Structure 1
């Protein structure tokens, strides 16, 4: 199995700010796995919060590239277990796992959602993210991209006032993501005010390890709360069940589609709402997320929509938020 690694610097349409950081571009690793004249593509982006760079991922993968080339590829699940045994980071494993799934589907000539026995007759609508900025800039972004659901990044001293102002300019559903910036007291206080403003749920308002605070929020918040930074890997799902209404699974954080499928199953068994989110990936990563759509309650797969220029073709998200799935097998990805 041949392997290729390439770093891309993805420029963003606008400066993207959350409660802890801002950036104008996203560094991304694209992995290609080739077997029997078919190539599958996978992606993982760098992330300062988790101390992951493209260079660190490439170094990890290069260290085992000879073994990958000699690996007898049968299924993505067997390949994933091999990668875990090699001790790679979840981000590096994600890029390889996504490539393996894309390759597997292309070898079979079937999109992944069909391999998983699901149908795309109905699926949740992705939100479109509005990063922290001045109110004028946030309103301008909404007007530039009219959308049925917005995820609004917060974590300022005037969060409720911001939502009040944004509500004047849109009838869309709002979702709020504070990225760990609130306390339990703030969350409980803000929730009824935000509910009146048409907010559907709150995402990760508290610090990832504030389990006591989240227990308090679960008992007193009038809005559902979805775990993000508190739900990284498979073993986190059960703990989140006692402290959150739902989980947001990130492929890069958990290590790809293989563990994500198990997390979705576990979350549903526990009665949790299940969401999959993105990390501002290109269409390579977004197309992988899209294959999971029939299994999800919510989705945040707007990463490629936030880019000035994309690097791949695959799943297309139209201006009315509907999704066009490629006929190509796997995730349906081709690089431009």
Structure 2
């Protein structure tokens, strides 16, 4: 098995702002694994919050090329177990590698990835579309620019209720709120009351990740469900989130790929929690991989490629929140 590593700079349509950062360009790393005439693709983006760069991911992957080239016919689970021991300090690089291996493995089996897992897409959830923090008039403009059935609205400002109140005037769509750790306990409980009246479905990660007593307090008193994001990074975190959150948002780059993500989703279901997968601002490679998890989810946020001014890949397409799979096997993504 041969590995090819490429890096790209993805240009965004608009400056994307959350409570802790803004950016116009998103660096990303693409892994291609080649074997027996097939190619599998995987992706992981840089992330300053987790101190991840495309250069650090490349270096960590290049350091284990002999290991990668010596493996070929294992199941994705077996391959992940071996690779994770070598990349335990870089879940992002592990994600790109695992995604590419899953893609390659499914192609060799002549199946789409969800078919290989024995899943049906008949009841897939729709994806939301994200409105980043901006001046209220610009947030309204972004909403009107992309009519959509579900919006994720990034908050964490002093004007959060005013923002949602104004946005509500322009659409009947469902709203989901992501405060990206920007609120306190009191703000979360109080804001939930106002936001529920404005048609908000749930709140995502309103407080800082490690404030477990605060999460417990909000879990008890919030009138809206609370979904963990930054508090649920790796597999061990699912159990911690039980009885502190109503659901978990699993990010592939944070947990190390599709293989551990499926285990996290299954565990969350055992606890009676809602399941969600979220994306980064990434290309259609990463988005196509997420699409195959849809039959296992209650919610999904996979609009990352829609935020780009120019994509680097083809694969799944999304119209009106509905995900359409590519005709090809594996995850269905191909670099342009």
For the superposition of Structure 1 and Structure 2, which TM-score range results when normalised by the shorter chain?
A: over 0.9
Q: 1:80 matched to which residue of 2?
A: 80
Shift of 1:41: 0.2
Is the 2:127–2:323 Cα contact (8 Å) retained in structure 1? no
* CA–CA distance in structure 2, aligned partners of residues 151 and 193 of structure 1: 17
Shift of 1:87: 3.3
Q: 1:71 matched to which residue of 2?
A: 71
Q: 1:188 matched to which residue of 2?
A: 189
Q: 2:322 matched to which residue of 1?
A: 322
Q: 2:241 matched to which residue of 1?
A: 240
Over 2 Å off, 4+ runs: none
Please give the secondary structure, in 1, of the residue aligned with 2:188.
Answer: helix
The CA deviation string for residues 158-199 of structure 1, in whole angstroms up to 9 with x for no partner, is 111111011111111000000000001100011110000000
User: TM-score, normalised on structure 1?
Assistant: 0.99
| 1:254-333 pair list within 5 angstroms | 254-318=255-319, 320-333=320-333
| 1:218-233 pair list within 5 angstroms | 218-233=219-234
Shift of 1:324: 1.4
Shift of 1:73: 3.1
Shift of 1:72: 3.6
Q: 1:23 matched to which residue of 2?
A: 23
* CA–CA distance in structure 1, aligned partners of residues 84 and 323 of structure 2: 32
* CA–CA distance in structure 2, aligned partners of residues 225 and 114 of structure 1: 31
The CA deviation string for residues 253-302 of structure 1, in whole angstroms up to 9 with x for no partner, is 00000000100100000000000000111000000000000110000000
User: TM-score, normalised on structure 2?
Assistant: 0.99
Shift of 1:321: 2.0
Shift of 1:94: 0.0
Q: Number of aligned pairs?
A: 335
Q: 1:114 matched to which residue of 2?
A: 115
* CA–CA distance in structure 1, aligned partners of residues 284 and 23 of structure 2: 19
Gaps of 5+ in 1: none
Please give the secondary structure, in 1, of the residue aligned with 2:55.
Answer: helix
Please give the secondary structure, in 2, of the residue aligned with 1:49.
Answer: helix
Shift of 1:327: 2.1
* CA–CA distance in structure 2, aligned partners of residues 18 and 150 of structure 1: 15
The CA deviation string for residues 119-170 of structure 1, in whole angstroms up to 9 with x for no partner, is 0111101000000000110000011000000000001011111110111111
